[in-house]
Copies of this chain bind each other. A is one copy, B any other.
Amino acid sequence: MTTYGAVLDALGDPTRRSVLELVAERPQPVGELAARLPVSRPAVSQHLRVLKDAGLVTDTAVGTQRVYRLDARGAAALRAYLDRFWDDSLAAYARAVEQDLAPEERP
């Protein structure tokens, strides 16, 4: 789906962030990721599925193992959200502050 909501939901879990940070170091198979984390291999598999659905990682089959790597789509979706939402909002606030008058206080 790769919407910003899915990306933020995926990044909302600490273990999932750890998985993603390991993948960011270098592409790795599932077993190697699980060996570096305090959770079981199936747990890592489930986290990888969420990260994949959010567009944060991609997987490719290499022999019997699946190598996971970072995907830029998720990062792009999140960045677009930040750029539109925050910049616009903060700009609106800046305008309100310049007028020294909050919007809801206007007659």
A: residues with CB less than 8 A from B are 5, 8-9, 11-14, 17, 21, 24-28, 67, 69-70, 72, 75, 78-79, 82, 85-86, 89-90, 92-93, 96, 102-104
Contact = CB atoms under 8 A, between A and B. Distances in A.
A93 B71 CA distance: 10
A75 B90 contact: yes
User: How many subunits of this chain does the assembly comprise?
Assistant: 2
Contacts of A12: 8-9, 11-13
Interface SS majority for chain A: helix
Contacts of A8: 8, 11-12, 17
15 contacts: A8-B11, A8-B17, A9-B12, A11-B11, A12-B13, A21-B85, A24-B86, A26-B103, A27-B104, A28-B104, A67-B102, A67-B104, A72-B90, A75-B86, A75-B90
A51 to B, nearest CB: 13
A89 B28 contact: no
A27 B75 CA distance: 29
